[in-house]
Structure formats: C-alpha cells, structure tokens
Chain A
Amino acid sequence: MLTYALRRLLLAIPTLLLISLVIFLLVDLAPGSPMSEIPLTVPPEVRLKMIAAMGADQPVFVRYVLWLRQFFWVEPMHQVDLLFGSHIVEGQQRIISYQTRGPVFTVIGERIPQTLTVIGTAYLVGVLIAVPIGIYSAYRQYSWFDQLGTFIAMLGYSVPTFFTGVLMIVIFAIKLHWFPSIYNTSLKVTDWASLLAQIRQMALPVLVLSLFNAAEISRYTRSSMLENLGQDYVRTARAKGMGEGTVVLKHVLRNSLIPVVTVIALGIPGIFGGAIITENVFKVNGIGAALIGAIHANDLPMVQTLTFIFAVLIVVFNLIADILYGVLDPRIRYD
C-alpha cells in the first residue's frame, strides 16, 4: 500500500507540473488586464508603471518560472522560517497578489477558516442527512418516502444555489428577520450568545449548500444500496437468520458505503475550493469568493495559486479515495 501511494505521488508530480503550466498559460491568455478595475482617472503612463511594479509586464515564461520558484521553494521555506526562526528565504519575494500587493498565502490564510467552517459544515451536514435518506430510500424503494426523497434530491440538484440562496435570504432574512443575510467573518465564538450568532449566520448558507450536497450523496447511497440489496450475500445473511437491522446496516450498508465513501472523499477538495456562488450570495468571503474576485481583477498570481492548490488537492484526494477503497474492500490490493 505504501509503495503504491508513493508511486502514485511520484507520478502525480509531472502531471501537476503540466497542470500548473496549462493553468498559467490559460489564465495569462485570457483577455483582460490587472488594471481593468482601476478608475480611468488614473492616467495611462501611471498604469504602465503600476503594471511594471507588479512584474506583470514580464514575458509569460519568466513569470511562470518565477511563480514555480516562489510556489515550490520560497513559500514552503517561508513557513519553515516562520516556524523555526531561520532565515532561508528572508527578503525573497513571495507570491504577491496584483490586487492586494501582498502575499497570496496571507489571503488564503484569512479565507480558509470561514470556508472550512461554512462549506465544511454544509458538507458534513449534507453527508449526515444524505446517507440515512439514501439507505431508507433504497430499503423502501418506490415507497412514498423514496419518491419524496427522489423529488427533493432532483430539486436540490437541479435548482441552482444562486436561486435557493436568494430565495432563502428573501424569506428568512428580509421577510422574517430570523437570520442575517450577510456573514460576519469577524465574529469570534466566546460565549453562548456569540455561538448562537455564529449558528444563525451559518444557518442559511449551510442549509442551501447541504441540500445541494445531500441531493448528490443520497442518490449515490441509494443506488449503491440498491445494487447491494440485490446481491446473493444479502440473501445468505437473511437465510442465516440475521435480523433485518443486521442485514441492512451490517451487510448491505458496509458494502454499499465503499463507493459512497469514495465519492465523499472526492468531494472534499470542493470544500477547500469553496462554493463560489453560495459564498458570494451570503458574503461568506471564503476561498471561492477570493477566486472569483481574483478572476474579475485579473489577479494572475492569486488565480494561478488557488487553482493549482485545487489541482493538488484533487490529485491527493483521488489518491486518498483509491487508498480508502483498498482499505474498505478486501478484494482490492495495491501491490
């Protein structure tokens, strides 16, 4: 298993390098300029100087190689310097955002907490409600519960979050005043009142996103359960005289969860990627909002760094999903 994981990781390196180059070229070739959001009152010659100060006037390959060096050497070593007080890359330029003129990783550091809190919770809640629904829907296939579940899943999957999000805001924030429509990232949970405030401001985005996540995962669970419910070993378990609970939860569920766990693992990079639309609708200002903001502002270093981190996460979680598969399913061996 370890050799397998190592081999996969080694193979991922050229893949990721290629991905980084492709992203860089794509983002660079995309029309637009980091100056597009600067008011027209700033005269052209000043704009040129600003672009030069950002280094955005350099040839694309110079910028790419610089970015590679910054991403793979300066940034990791900067963390080392911070941790151990060493001076390995002192004074060397980190990846600097065009928008903020500050390090991209500072922004990422600011954004991660709310993304993980909101999007992560939504994912967790989504999984927690999806799996039981999926199990029961499959067990009582074509029952009213299953039909209702299918309907809600279809709704959750097909109605976009920018619609459900705005709808929730109109109903619960504007009409009923139950929840805030804007997420306060500065709120610190220190007591019961602030905890309640945190829950209240998370409620709507979590609801919207978890509906979306649950729709997908409950479908996976249901179909995987259905597939396994029809298997011969389930009949064997019944023939053994096992109770229905044991049959469904022990025999069927454990086998059904293998593909579901994989799907869940593959969805985790999406948490870090943030939910661009939902984050914007509820002003959560997480990673997704940072990415879309950076795209609007043609902030190449930020877009490049974020998308590359997503690529890395996707590769890593693919590997994790594969390894999980091997752990969960004794029939699969990586040697």
Chain B
Amino acid sequence: MKLKATLLGAAAILAMAGAAFAERGSDGHVNVLYWQAPSILNPYLSGGTKDLESSSLILEPLAGFDEKGALFPRLATEIPTVENGGLAKDLTSITWKLKPDLKWSDGTPVTSADVKFSYDYCKAPDGGCAQASKYEGIKSVETPDATTVVVTFDAPKPNPYLAFVGATSPIIQKAQFEKCLGAAAPTCTEANNGPIGTGPFKVVSFKTNDTVELEANPNYRDPAKPAFATMTLKGGGDAEAAARAVMETGEFDYAWNTQVNPELQTQMTAGGKGHFVNGFGTLVERIEMNLTDPSSDLPEGERSTVKHPHPILSDINVRKALSMAIDRQALVDVGYGTAGQPTCNLVPAPEAYASDNTGCLKQDMAGAKKLLDDAGWKPGADGIREKDGKKLHILFQTSVNPVRQDFQSLIKSWWTDLGVDVELKSVDASVFFGGDAGSPDTFQKFYADVEMYANNFDGTDPEAYLAGYKCDKIPSPATQWQGENINRFCNADYDKLAAEMSATADIAKRGELAKKMNDMLTKDSMTIVPLVDRGRLSATSNTLGGVVLNVWDSELWNAQDWTRTK
C-alpha cells in the first residue's frame, strides 16, 4: 500500500499545487470558524479535536494522511517502506529523512534533534501527554545526523506509522519547548499558545477559546504558498450559527463541523453563498449490547461485571432481532442527511479494512419477530415478550444530544413493535463520557442494557481500535472502570486474531483479520449494532478554493493550498 499511497498522495498535492499560480500572500485574508474554539495550540497537552486541528496550521508531522487516507510526506522526503529501505525488514526500526533546508517560522533550521525532542517531550513523566499512545512501544529515537531520525521499536511493529504521523503527533521546536518538559509543561503558556512551527501559517496572537490570528509563514518550504497572507480562526457559538455565518451571512469562509439537521442543510444551501462539504471516516454511531447483568439488585461491584451474564441479551437471537428491527436509513434521514450513511460495520473504512457486510441495511420486522418466536420469546398478556419468566425489558441509555434523543424514540418505537419493553435514559455528555469512576452513569460502567454513542479510531489503522475488544480490556472495579471493551465481550478466538494482527505486517492479511474481527463483533454476534457511519460536514464559502475535506487527518490539512476564487 505504502508506495502506491505515497504516489497517489504526491500526485494529489501536485495537482493542487498546479492550480495555485498565485504567489504567497496574494489572496489576502481568510476567515475560519471553529465554533468550539481552540484552548491551546500544543496538541500534546490537549486531545481535543479543535486544538489538534487548529495547531495543524502551524505544526506539522513528518507525514500526514490525505483525503483518501493515504500517507504522504510532509517534513519527510518520502514515506519509509521496506521497499525503499526506510523500514527494517523485521519491522523493528524505521528511518525518516527530513527534507533539506527546512526552516522553522523563526528562520532557524529544522533538525532531527527537534524530532527526537518531540518524542522526549511527550514521553516526559508527569507531562500528561495526550498523544502518549502514539509513542508506545518505542525503544529509542536516534539522530545519526541532522536530517535523519531512526526510531527503534521494542518489538516488530506492523504499523510503524504512528509516531510523527498525522496532526496528533507533530514536530515541535526543541529550542522553544526545551524548558517545558514534564511537570513544567503548563508553565510555558507562551509556547503552548504560540508554538513555532513549519506549517503554512504562524501565530500572530492567540486568545484562549476565542480567536487565533495567523499570518503566512515566511519560511514555509513552498515559496508560493500559502495564498492567504493572513487568517483568522474564530471560535464561539454553536454548529448552526457557524453554518449560517458561512452559508447565509458570508462573514466566514470556512466553518468546521457544521452538523445541522438535514432540513436546515437544504435551507442553508439555498442561500447560495456557500456549500457543505462532507467526507466519511470511521466514526460510527452504534448500539452497544451489555453482555453482563446491570441489574441494580446485584451488589455494587458486581453489577455489569463478567460474574453475571446478562439474563436476556446473552441470547444471540434477542440481539439479532433487536438489530433487524432497526431501519438505519430512516435514522440517517432524520438525524444526518448527507452527513451520514447507514452501516453494518464497526470499521466502515478505509477500504482495505472495511468488511462488505450489508445484511443489516434492510429493516426486517417480520424476520425479527419470527426469530424471537422461534427462540421461545412469546408475547405475554401485556404484549411484552417473555421466556422462562424473564421479560424482554431493556434500559436504553445514551448522552444528551437532540439527534440521539430522536434516535432513541425511533428505535424505541420499533422495539416496542417487536414486543420489547424499552425504557429510555439520557445522561449529560460530560458525565456519560467523563469516565469518573465514582459516577454510575458513565458509558464504561454501563449500568444499562444497551447504550448508544459514536466512536472511531485515529488515522487509518484499526488495530488498536479492534484490540479494545479483547477480554483484558473489560472495564471492571479492578481497573477503576477503565477499558474499551464496554460490552464485556470475551472470546478466545477474537483475542487470538487480535494478537495475530499485531504481529502481521502484510496489508492484505491485516485487512482480512480486521474484517474477520469486525464481523465477529457485528454480523456474527450483534454485540455491537452499528447504525450510522457519520461523516464530517463542514461549510465552505463559494469564494474559497482548494478545500478538500479530509477525515483521516486535520480538516485544515491543506490550508496551504486554499485560494480565493472569484
């Protein structure tokens, strides 16, 4: 994949570069709206998307992902592969070469020491580096010369493109952050809010959670770029107001994440000032089934633990019937419009990893009823199905969010039709996703029968994402309720596949394994019921050229290619 992807990426960049004849700064000013404003421009100190994407204008990694998910070199000369000798055959080390004559925006040269420092910065103890997982399994980072970086891994690393790849692990300037290691990180406010970088823009002023004023980086490696001399990145308000500012008032050229309901999308597009751009990544809205008993009758510490299997959801027929009763297209139409598509996969993309199963797309109420009838779940006097004295009663929780509440009531109506008694519950997002071990309402604790939320994986490789469903990732009191395997799914075969994947480098083989694991979780067991593949929806002005929505990396990944069209 690597060579081909690299070439494709390079070709895409060339094509766009060709379109831009203008010299640097000739197109004046561009206004970008991030309704969730950046709090900090150091992505290592914040995992927030808004912070990562804003900082991607300034800081760059060695390589990034293009809109198709393919790797392309940014600060590196090329993507190291086994073929070009950059990647060791045993996958234990990778050698990156920096482009010659790279300069920071302050004019000093970029060297391999800066790359190594970025690693040291994130690995420093007590720093609370948000991107620490990118640098896991690295034994050492060596700098044989000023432009060469050799990363050595503890063990063969089938996916060596984590460190220094993508907006989540950019290169920061050693000179600027040298004194900010570890616990000292928060004391470097000036550096955190105004990092010196290699990207197309540099920070002029930064107002926390409000505005970043940027100007073209005078030392950007392409002398013709960026076309815009200055940029304002403004925050505040909500998605709808942000969409209006681009689509209706024309005050802004680009607005990030303008997720509004389908009806408003149509209405705003009619304004004629701008258009929505969308792209589909790996974010999947899904229903997770709890395979353990969340009953409040159980003593605290045993609820939702593997000690007690779920009384009804342990029956695969029930899980399957619940999935069959859902009309996924209807959910898309109600909640996302063009920014969503129905899916049956936990890993819907990239192509190499996406399973082809589509069996769930068509609602099959009759089939679902029959399945339950055959499995012995017969409607009781009150219309609720029951078996062995156990009623099909389900507590369905999710976070507070208008679309999710719409989904909840739609799904409830289908399930009620099926003969299932559904009780709905919604929890404030900050609690639901807060991960506070003391709260009974976190999604990890899962004190409900089913729950709905969305999740995705970073970059293009699902290995870690799928490994989250291994038996040892089950949240429990022993792990302070931390862990990704919130369904409490445990299957020795699955664990074996996950182990195999972590030792496999061949892309085709990896794809096969990923699809198999995806199917085990979805189609085969309906432990996870995927609903909607949620795309990104952003708004762009009709006078802004060069916008290519990228769901695999920062949305502002190609801001250097943006131009003003008349």
Contact = CB atoms under 8 A, between A and B. Distances in A.
Chains A and B touch each other in the complex, with CB atoms below 8 Å apart: yes
Q: Is the interface of B mostly helix, strand, loop or mixed?
A: loop
A40 B213 CA distance: 29
B468 to A, nearest CB: 8
Contact of A101 (B46, B248, B431, B436): B46
Nearest to B128: A53
A102 B47 contact: no
B431 A32 contact: yes
Contacts of B235: 283, 285
Interface in A143-181: 169, 173-174, 177, 180-181
A45 B482 contact: yes
Nearest to B52: A39
Q: Is the interface of A mostly helix, strand, loop or mixed?
A: loop
Residue among A31, A45, A181, A183 with the highest chain B CB neighbour number at 10 A: A31
Nearest to B236: A283
B189 A102 contact: yes
A225 interface: no
A17 B480 CA distance: 34
A93 B33 contact: no
Nearest to A98: B39
Nearest to A290: B209
Given A96-B186, A184-B234, A298-B430, A44 B251 contact: no
B208 interface: yes
Given A46-B133, A101-B40, A285-B211, A181 B241 contact: yes
Contacts of B428: 31-32
A33 B430 contact: yes
B210 A50 contact: no
A41 B484 CA distance: 10
Residue among B49, B249, B456 with the highest chain A CB neighbour number at 10 A: B249
A124 B436 CA distance: 44
B228 to A, nearest CB: 16
Interface stretch (A103-111, A214-222, A315-323): A103-111
A281 interface: yes
> Which interface class (under 10, 10 to 19, 20 to 34, 35 or more) fits B?
35 or more
A185 B207 contact: yes
Given A182-B237, A186-B213, A49 B129 contact: yes
B237 A283 contact: yes
B558 to A, nearest CB: 22
A206 B252 CA distance: 22
Given A44-B484, A174-B248, A50 B430 contact: no
Given A49-B129, A285-B211, A186 B232 contact: yes
Contacts of A33: 430, 434-436
B430 A31 contact: yes
Given A96-B186, A285-B236, A42 B133 contact: yes
A302 to B, nearest CB: 10
B209 A107 contact: yes
A53 B121 CA distance: 14
B186 A110 contact: no
Interface string A94-125: 00110111110011001100000000000000
Residue among B187, B210, B235 with the highest chain A CB neighbour number at 10 A: B210
Contact of B211 (A36, A42, A107, A185): A185
Given A106-B208, A186-B213, A49 B128 contact: yes
Contacts of B209: 99-100, 107, 285, 289-290, 293
Nearest to A47: B435
Contacts of B234: 182, 184, 283
A37 to B, nearest CB: 6
Interface string B121-163: 0000011111111000000000000000000000000000000
A100 B433 contact: no
Contacts of B46: 38, 99, 101
Given A41-B458, A180-B251, A102 B193 contact: yes
A43 interface: yes
Contacts of B186: 93, 96, 101-102
Given A39-B47, A180-B249, A280-B237, A106 B189 contact: yes
A53 B208 contact: no
A293 B252 CA distance: 22
Contacts of B543: none
A250 interface: no
A285 B37 contact: yes
B236 A280 contact: yes
Contacts of A41: 47, 455-458
Given A32-B430, A101-B40, A46 B132 contact: yes
B473 to A, nearest CB: 9
B436 A32 contact: yes
A176 B245 CA distance: 14
A36 B189 contact: no
A96 to B, nearest CB: 5
Contacts of A111: 210
Contacts of A42: 47, 130-131, 133
Contacts of B401: none
Contacts of A43: 133, 464, 484
B114 interface: no
B491 interface: no
Interface of A: 31-33, 35-54, 91, 93, 96-97, 99-103, 106-107, 110-111, 169, 173-174, 177, 180-186, 280-281, 283-285, 289-290, 293, 296-298
6 contacts: A35-B435, A46-B129, A50-B129, A185-B211, A283-B234, A283-B237
Closest 3 CB pairs of A and B: A53-B128, A283-B236, A33-B434
